Amino acid sequence: MPTEFLSCGDTALVVQFGETVDAETNRRVMGLDATIRRHAIPGIVETVPTFRSLMIHYDPRRTSREALVGEVEPLLADEGALDASFSRWTLPVCYGPEHAPDLEDVARRTGLSPERVIAVHSGVTYRVYMIGFLPGFPYMGDLPRELELPRREEPRTRVPAGSIAIATTQTVVYPCESPGGWHLIGRTPVPMFTLSREQPVLFRPGDEIRFKAVEAAEYDDIAARAAAGSFTLAPDREVSA
Amino acid sequence: MSDSRPVLRVLGAGFHPTIQDLGRHGAQRLGIPVSGALDPLALRMANVLVGNDEGEAAIEIRLLGPTLEVAADDVRVALVGTEAALEVLGPAGNRLVPAGVSARVPRGWRLRVGAVKDTACCYLAVGGGFDLPAPFGSKSTYVRSGIGGLDGRSLRDGDMLPLTSGAAPAGRERALPADYRAVYGSGAVRVVLGPQDGWFTAEAVERLLSSTFTVSREADRMGLRLDGPELPHARGYNIASDGIATGAIQVPGSRKPIMLLADHQTTGGYPKIATVTSADLPRVGRLRPGAELGFRAVGIAEAEELRRAQEALLAEVLAGVHDAEEATSVRVSALYRENLISGVFSIGTA
């Protein structure tokens, strides 16, 4: 699919690399994002990388769509520009019944046992495709095929902070309490978004995540330390370009 | 906290007022919304009246305003965006300061903004601004995640709003020129089609541009859900989540459009049939439940030109700010008699 420029009113331009979710398309998004940030193009307010497109917010008092397309188009050929550094994380998750209201339902609908759902979910490494929807909300994929389900027909009005959820090809963490239509299969005690932290958002696009099943007692212990401000999750490894 | 620290004491908060400036830009990549004033034109005008930078944070008032007590030597304030007046209550008597005019208010006096019936939002600016932190470069409040403003929330009874300045410089009060409302424009709300108009039937686009819609009761700082004809999708209503611009009109499975405003989520998975032009966002931000509106499509270059023209007009208005006449602040009884309090601030939606 050819790269397209889409207009979002007179304050944003989208560079769309495709309509589907895949790691290669997402890498192109991140590559263009890094390139544009390096070039400091006048009139650009900020850029927002998503699964398969880059949104460029601009100030129509300082530039125009026409001028921006002229600046950005030549950068599309700038391969190898990607800042390929990322971190690998292991995130503790309690899959116990008190934290996993939809686990039984997911098991029934996928034809797997609850134990098998947990083993499959925590058995692979995910890539953070994007942060969006809410502060620090990471979209991670790809979910193993056997766990793929559409979203719930009736979204919940209250999903607890830290909930680990799945739907379609993705798994997510709700950083704060919010409405939500995903299937809740566990909960992490690790805060995804802490305003007072130097890096308020824990994960960045491109990071790699594994989930580690923990018992309720360990969940409670980490949650208590996190609430007291004495818990920090460090990455397993930082990979630089 | 020392008693000498200048504050505005919130005696009565009213309906969840929040601190807002021109928004938090640069953090959407972390999932953090822009927030900021729903009507940035009114915010900018209010700030200029009190001698602030246009983008200083002010109190965004919705439905019912607060009652504040001055705990500073004195403060200069201005209310803009409504025809409701600012009530100044003191030991020497009460007076009404019309919107669009600044006033200096001494220690111990109270400020009150009552019911606001002509707009969804208006702004009370204070000279020097508020002494509050600016996470990610903005004092704007994003309540859902507790970011910005006073402790990340709307104002409550008993709050102490810290002021940057404990005294207002002497000088004549200032007033907006009489025709300042012209900056908002009027008529159908202008939109640029897309980014996903191709996900809708041709009939849906035609309905959007030819129908009258009504703002439903589901209206807040995040967006306005509109009642009106359904806008059917041609390719389903789930896209791989992509970025959202303020003013985007997204259409979920209900086929009812939602206009996304200042607190909108940074990304979303519903197709967006059109996007409100930035020149028309301030008057859209003012819409209350029950308001009727229609849409008209313009090209992207025209939309950009509309915004530049609006900025030029605003610059003229701000250049026309002049010394207020002594008679501008009047005794309550006179204003009630002349029935000047409950004027209508129509945005025109024909």
Rounded-to-integer distance, Cα B199 and Cα B239, Å: 9
Identify the residue among B22, B24, B25, B29 best suited for mutation to test binding to A, counting A beta carbons within 10 A and taking the highest: B29
Looking only at the bridges linking them, the beta strands covering B189-193 and B295-297 are parallel
Chain segment B111-127, per-residue pLDDT in tens: 999 999 999 999 999 99
Q: A196 to chain B: nearest residue by CA?
A: B135
Distance from CA of B195 to the nearest CA of A (A): 5
Q: Which of A8, A47, A159 to mutate to test the interface with B (most CBs of B within 10 A)?
A: A8
Residue B350 included in any domain: no
Chain-wide mean pLDDT for chain B? Answer: 92
* B303, B329: one domain: no
Residues A175 and A212 grouped into a single domain: yes
For an interface test with B, give the residue of A4, A7, A10 to mutate (most B CBs within 10 A): A10
**A65: closest CA of chain B, how far (Å):** 8
- Which candidate, A145, A143, A178, A139, places its Cα nearest to that of A162? A178
Tell me: pLDDT of B23 over 50. yes
Question: What is the Cα–Cα distance from B110 to B138, expressed in whole angstroms?
Answer: 28
The predicted pLDDT at position A241 comes to 63
Structural tokens at position A32? 């263009």
Asked if B28 and A195 come within 8 Å (Cβ–Cβ), the reply is no
CB B195 to CB A139 under 8 A?
A: no
- Which chain A residue has its CA at the smallest distance from B303's CA? A10
Strands A53-58 and A208-213: unpaired
pLDDT of residue A152: 83
Domain identity same for B165 and B225: no
B29 shares its domain with B169: yes
A7, B194: Cβ pair inside 8 Å? yes
Based on the domain organization, do A48 and A26 belong to the same domain? yes
A53 lies in the same domain as A137: no
- Chain A residues closer than 8 Å to B192 by CB: 7-10
Predicted confidence (pLDDT) at residue B265 exceeds the cutoff of 80: yes
Judged by CB atoms closer than 8 Å, whether chains meet at A131 and B272 is answered as no
| Same-domain check for residues A220 and A140 | yes
One domain for residues A150 and A64: no
Distance of CA A42 to the CA centre of its chain: 29
Confidence (pLDDT) at A80: 57
Contact B277 A47 (CB under 8 A): no
Q: What is the rounded distance in angstroms from the CA atom of residue A106 to the CA atom of residue A117?
A: 8
Cβ–Cβ under 8 Å, residues B126 and B164: no
SS3 B215: strand
At residue B350 the predicted structure's pLDDT band, cuts being 50, 70 and 90, is very low
Tell how far CA B93 is from the center of its chain.
30
Give tens-digit pLDDT for B164-211.
999 999 999 999 999 999 999 999 999 999 999 999 999 999 999 999
Q: Are B264 and A12 in contact (CB under 8 A)?
A: no
Contact A135 B31 (CB under 8 A): yes
pLDDT digits (tens, 9 = 90+) for B64-88: 999 999 999 999 999 999 999 999 9
Chain B residue closest in CA terms to A169: B240
Last residue of a domain, one of A45, A77, A109: A77
| B247 is a domain residue | yes
- Distance, in Å, from the CA atom of B294 to the CA atom of B128, rounded to the nearest integer, reads 39
Closest Cβ–Cβ partner in B152, B246, B308 for A11: B246
C-beta atoms of A11 and B192 within 8 A: no
> What is the extent of the structural domain holding B74?
7-175+324-337
Domains in chain B: how many in total? 2
Q: Cα dihedral angle (A223, A225, A228, A230), rounded to 10 degrees?
A: -140
pLDDT digit string, tens, across residues B200-214: 999 999 999 999 999
Mark whether B137 and B203 lie in a shared domain. no
Contacts of B241 in chain A (CB under 8 A): 50-51, 130, 132-133, 139
Task: List the CATH number of the domain containing B262.
Answer: 2.40.100.10
A134 contacts B265? CB cut-off 8 A: yes
What total number of domains does chain A contain?
A: 2
Interface probe, candidates A1, A6, A11, A152, chain B, greatest B C-beta count within 10 A: A11
Q: How far apart are CA A187 and CA A40, in angstroms?
A: 40
Query: Is A178 within 8 Å of B144 when comparing Cβ atoms?
Result: yes
**A153, closest residue in chain B (CA to CA):** B253
Q: How does residue B163 score in pLDDT terms, banded at 50, 70 and 90?
A: very high
Q: Give the chain B residue nearest A176 (alpha carbons).
A: B145
My answer on whether A165 and A91 are in the same domain is yes
Which contiguous run of DSSP H or E holds residue B286?
none
With CB atoms and an 8 Å threshold, state whether A136 touches B26.
no
Vertex B44: Cα angle to B41 and B46 (nearest 5): 105
Clarify whether residues A177 and A58 are in a common domain.
no
Any domain includes B193: yes
Q: How far is B192 from chain A (nearest CA, A)?
A: 5
Inside any domain, residue B166: yes
Last residue of a domain, one of A77, A106, A136: A77
Q: Please report, for the domain that includes residue A38, its CATH number.
A: 3.30.1360.40
* B145 and B202 both lie in a single domain: no
- Residue A143 lies in domain: 86-239
The reply to whether B223 falls in a domain is yes
In this structure, are B146 and B11 located in the same domain? yes
Give the CA dihedral A108, A110, A111, A112, nearest 10 degrees: -90
Task: Report the alpha-carbon distance of residue B243 to residue A93 in Å, rounded.
Answer: 29
Cis ω on the peptide bond leading into residue B195 (within 30° of 0)?
Answer: yes
- Residues B276 and B164: their CA atoms lie apart, in Å, by 36
Residues A206, A181 share a domain: yes
Q: How far is B117 from chain A (nearest CA, A)?
A: 30
How far away is chain B from the Cα of A76, in angstroms, using its nearest Cα?
A: 19
Cis before residue A142, ω within 30 degrees of 0? yes
Residue B347 placed within a domain: no
* pLDDT score of B61: 98
Residues A98 and A37 in one domain: no
**Hey, of B30, B244, B254, B295, which one would you mutate to test binding to chain A, going by the most A CBs within 10 A of its CB?**
B30
* One domain, residues B60 and B159: yes
Name the pLDDT band for B4 (thresholds 50, 70, 90): confident
- Considering the domain architecture, whether residues A102 and A220 belong to the same structural domain is answered as yes
A185 to chain B, closest Cα gap in Å: 22
* pLDDT per position as a tens digit, B216-246: 999 999 999 999 999 999 998 888 899 999 9
Residues B169, B189, single domain; the answer is no
Same domain? B158 vs B291: no
Tokens at B131, concatenated:
């002494």
Residues of chain A with pLDDT under 50: none
Q: For residue B30, which residues of chain A lie inside 8 Å, CB to CB?
A: 131, 135-136, 200-201
User: Which band of pLDDT confidence, cut at 50, 70 and 90, is reported for residue B1?
Assistant: very low
d(CA A89, CA A110): 27
CB contact under 8 A, A48 and B195: no
Say if residue B167 is in the same domain as residue B274.
no
Distance from CA of B109 to the nearest CA of A (A): 36
- For A64-99, the pLDDT digits (tens) are 999 999 999 999 987 655 666 889 999 999 999 999
Final residue belonging to a domain, choices A59, A77, A95: A77
Count of CB pairs separated by less than 8 Å, A with B: 146
| A171 to A129, A191, B296: CA distances (angstroms) | 11, 16, 40
B295 lies in the same domain as B330: no
CATH code, domain carrying A182: 2.40.100.10
- Residue B41 and residue B127 share a domain: yes
Say whether both A73 and A100 belong to one domain.
no
**Which chain A residue lies closest to B248 (C-alpha atoms)?**
A8
CA A17, CA A52: separation in Å to the nearest integer? 6
A11 to B144: CB separation less than 8 angstroms, yes or no:
no
User: Is the pLDDT confidence value at B336 over 80?
Assistant: no
Distance in Å, alpha carbon of B311 to nearest chain A alpha carbon: 8
Same domain for A53 and A18, yes or no, is: yes
